Each structure stands twice: as C-alpha cells, then as structure tokens.
Amino acid sequence: MSEKKYNVAIAGATGAVGKEIIDTLERRKFPVKSLRLLASERSVGLPLEYNGKEILVEKLGHDSFKDIDIALFSAGGGRSKEFAQSAVDAGAVVIDNSSAFRMDDDVPLVVPEVNPEDIKKHKGIIANPNCTTIIMLVVLKPLYDISPITRIVVSTYQSASGAGAKAMEELCLQTADVLNGRVVKPKLFPHQIAFNLFSHNSDIDKSGYCEEERKMINETRKIMHDDNIRVCPTTVRVPVFRAHSEAISIEQERKVSVKEAKLALSKAPGVIVLDNRKKNQFPMPVDFTGADDVAVGRIRDDLSCDNGLALFVCGDQLLKGAALNAVQIAELL
C-alpha cells in the first residue's frame, strides 16, 4: 500500500522561516503530493527549489488554497488573520507560525514533544508557539513529568534570526561598519545590535513586561495546561545570527536531584544533554545552529531555593523554534 501524499501550501514562502519550512519538508521526506509557494505580490514569479525542481512563487490570496490539505503559514500575524480562514474554508488544516491565534481558546497551541494530544482538538487551525517558549518547554516537560514545576525564572539571549532575514543582514552590515570604523545606523532594530545587546524590542505594558515576555508566560500555561505556573521572563536581543539561548531556573513541588534530571533529559525526545563540567563545555549557539534538537547543559542545583534546578539551553530559532515545530505538527496530523 503506497503512502498517502498531501497537497501542501506555504504562505510566506520567501521569508527566513518559509525557506526553512521548504528545506525541512524535503529533508524529513514529508509525503508531499504538490507544493504551492505563496507570498506577497513583489515575490510573484520568484523560483524556489524543492526536491531538485524549481517552483514559482504565487501571490497569496483568498483563492490560493483550493485542493490544499495542509497550509503552513509564516507570513506574519496580519496576513494570518486575513487569509487563514480562507484556507480552512477551502478544506485545509492551517498550521500558523504567527501569534495571531495562539491564545484563542478554540486553537490548540502545540509543541509535539510536550502536548501532541492537543492536535486532535483543532477546528481547522493549529498554532505554533513563540520560539522562546518552544525551546524552553521541550527541555522543561521531562522535568515537569517528574515533579510539577511551580515557578520558572528565565532570561533569554535571542538571536537576530528571531526578527527575520533582514535582521540577520543588519547584524552582518553593522558588524562590518564597527570593524571598519564607520558610524552604525540602526534600521530594523531600534538600537545597534552589533557588539551590543538590548531588551527585546517589543511593546512594554503597564506592568513593565514586554510582549515577548508575556508570550512566554501565557503560552507556557496554555501548553502545559497549568495556570498555576509562575513565570518571570527577561527577554534580550544579542548579536548572534541564529539559535536562541536561555538561562532557566525552576522550582518544583519536590526536590529533583541533578542526577535524576540528567537521566530524564537524556531520554527526552528532541533534547541533547551537553554538560561537560571538566572541559567547561556546554550548549552554544554556534554549535546548534542548524540542529533539530534543543541542547541543555549547566544542569545544577539552584542554591537559592530548596526544590530548585538551574540549567542553560540552546536551540535553533528558525528550526525547532519555528519551521521544524510546524512540520512536526504536520507529521502528527
């Protein structure tokens, strides 16, 4: 019996995440019958390669989803809100990478290693969580399963890739400017990103938390089905091209030993333990750019509380933080 194949569309195919989705579908041998690449009018006719063949980009419109089974959206929240329902009405299941539907009660928010069962609850749309939330929860879920986590304090070190291909280009150009003694003029970012870091450039609310931090709080509770988890995030942009890092401290209901934690993490899907104290070798963005798995190290007792653990994680924002997670959802579908 031959494997069933699917008609797939990618909305936002020319962006950094869209291109990673194309590569990930090919690399993981997703059963694609046909692939439709969609983007804005300025990209129409652009050739993109898939499985050794060129596919021309088409204009994203409300009539773009006829006969499509799975529509992977990576075109931004505004475009998702405008066109996702048209895809659903045409019979497709939408996997959306934007924040447009994440907190909608009728839309499951899924990390396949964490809450795959939620996929069954979809009503046409499944949301891909924020990259920082995905990378964190892939590592924390195995620890939560040993003993529920009651509190998370997390500081992120977020790469330029989180703001797209143009942000990565800006980091490259600014680095050259600094090294050549030229004046740096930020364009996409509000501040100089080369040889600098700054608080995440999303809107800050009255409480003092920015939008990126609120995403980590709210999405963690929804994905884990636990509104009692207390989350205190601090999100920071750093001059790294791709792969986000996070320093995480957790409190649990009971004391989980470092040995117990390492054993659970070593068996967890999508996780690599890199914790070599003798060689001072731990996860670094440069080593996990292009990697599917999330790396974890610096696993140690949190000396500031009784039931605490501290750790450091690193994951490719464009892959597990976006494209790969979306394709894994499609595979589960």
Is 1 part of any domain? no
Same domain, 124 and 137: no
- Is there a single domain that holds both residue 313 and residue 196? yes
H or E element, residue 155: strand 149-158
> Which residues are catalytically annotated?
131, 244
Query: Domain check: are 311 and 170 in the same one?
Result: yes
- CB distance 129 to 102 below 8 Å: yes
Does residue 306 lie in a domain region? yes
Residues 64 and 201 in one domain: no
Asked if residue 192 and residue 141 are part of one domain, the reply reads yes
Do 99 and 151 have their domain in common? no
Claim to verify: residue 25 and residue 107 sit in the same structural domain: yes
Domain count across the chain: 2
Query: Residues near 196 by Cβ (< 8 Å), separated by ≥ 6?
Result: 239
Asked, for residue 244, whether it belongs to a domain, the answer is yes
pLDDT in tens, the chain (333 residues): 457 999 999 999 999 899 999 999 999 999 999 999 999 999 999 999 999 999 999 999 999 999 999 999 998 889 999 999 999 999 999 999 999 999 999 999 999 999 999 999 999 999 999 999 999 999 999 999 999 999 999 999 999 998 888 999 999 999 999 999 999 999 999 999 999 999 998 899 999 999 999 999 999 999 999 999 999 999 999 999 999 999 999 999 999 999 999 999 999 999 999 999 999 999 999 999 999 999 999 999 999 999 999 999 999 999 999 999 999 999 999
Same domain flag for 145 and 108: no
Shared domain for 247 and 327, answered yes or no, is no
Residue-number span of the structural domain to which 265 is assigned: 133-318
Its pTM stands at 0.94
Contacts of residues 328-331 at CB distance under 8 Å and 24 or more positions apart, as own/partner, are: 328/112, 329/95, 329/110, 329/112, 329/119, 329/126, 329/128, 330/8, 330/30, 330/70, 330/72, 330/95, 331/28, 331/30, 331/112
Can you tell me whether residue 229 is helix, strand or coil? Answer: coil
Tell me the pLDDT tens digit for each residue of 232-290. Answer: 999 999 999 999 999 999 999 999 999 999 999 999 999 999 999 999 999 999 999 99
